[in-house]
Amino acid sequence: MMIDLALLHIICAPFSHSNIKYTAFRVVLEHMLQKTIDAFNIIHLEAKEYGIVYTTSIKFTHEVARQLHIPAYTSCILLDDKENKEEKSCIFQA
């Protein structure tokens, strides 16, 4: 996927959760935004269900959120670590 290994976090956990589904697509970079929108639009969640769209950059995260009219969440919002954690918590809870 040509992702800088320094940016990866490896999580060792089984994928056998009945309430979690993972899907991966191979996409040409120029079509990334449209393919993300298309994938989002075919997923139907119930009122109490949630979904997460992972992206590879903050800029792309905000563009996807703008296009889909959904909130954006990024790992770094504010420079102060304590304020950043508090703000992320508020956004995540919302």
User: What is the CA 21 to chain-centroid distance, rounded?
Assistant: 14
The token pair at 47 is 């009122």
Q: Say what the pLDDT of residue 65 is.
A: 92
The token pair at 68 is 């889909």
Give yes or no for residue 91 having a pLDDT over 80: no
User: What is the CA 41 to chain-centroid distance, rounded?
Assistant: 15
Handedness of CA 23, 56, 46, 90 (dihedral sign): positive
- Residue 65: which domain range? 5-93
3-state SS of the chain? CCCCHHHCCCCCCCCCCCCCCCCCCCCCHHHHHHHHHHHHHHCCCCCCCCCCCCCCCHHHHHHHHHHHCCCCCCCCCCCCHHHHHHHHHHHHHC
pLDDT in tens, 2-52: 777 777 776 666 666 677 777 777 888 899 999 989 988 888 888 888 788
